[in-house]
Amino acid sequence: MEGYVIIKPKGELDLSNAFNFKKQLLNDFLTKGKNKLIIDLSDVHYMDSSALGAMISLHKSCRLNGGMLILIKMDKSLKRLFKLTQLDSIIPIYESLDEFLKNTGG
Residue 3: the pLDDT is: 85
What's the total number of domains in the chain?
1
Residue 47: the pLDDT is: 97
Q: What is the pLDDT of residues 29-52, one digit of tens each?
A: 988 889 999 999 999 999 999 999
Give CA 36 to chain center in angstroms.
10
Residue 2: the pLDDT is: 80
The overall average pLDDT reported for the chain is 94
Give CA 40 to chain center in angstroms.
7
- 13: which strand partners? 47
Residue 5: the pLDDT is: 94
Task: For residue 19, give its domain range.
Answer: 4-104
Does 106 score more than 70 pLDDT?
A: no
Q: How far apart are CA 30 and CA 46, in angstroms?
A: 25
Does 15 score more than 90 pLDDT?
A: yes
Which CATH number characterizes residue 38's domain?
3.30.750.24
